[in-house]
Amino acid sequence: MCELLGMSFNKFVKPIISFTGFKQRGEHNPDGWGIAFYPDKSAQVFKEPITATSSPLAEFL
């Protein structure tokens, strides 16, 4: 089952606890994972066709 996590902040934060749990639950989603954020006025999107638990990018985040 897909899961969506949304967060919005008005200052810099490190949501380590939330993303860690989200990543672990993604082990049961074989279709892949992705993340999007707005570093400026445009969206930056990363998608991978693997589970978040096996992704070097997800581990880095």
pLDDT for position 1? 54
Question: pLDDT tens digits for 33-54?
Answer: 888 888 888 989 999 998 888 8
Residue tagged 């899961």 (tokens): 3
**Which residues pair with residue 44 across a beta bridge?**
37
Burial (CB count within 10 angstroms: exposed 0-12, middle 13-18, buried 19+), residue 42: exposed
Per domain, the residue ranges of the chain are 16-60
Positions annotated as catalytic residues are 2
Residues 6+ apart with CB under 8 A from 32: 47, 48, 49, 50, 51
In angstroms, the CA 47 to CA 44 distance is 10
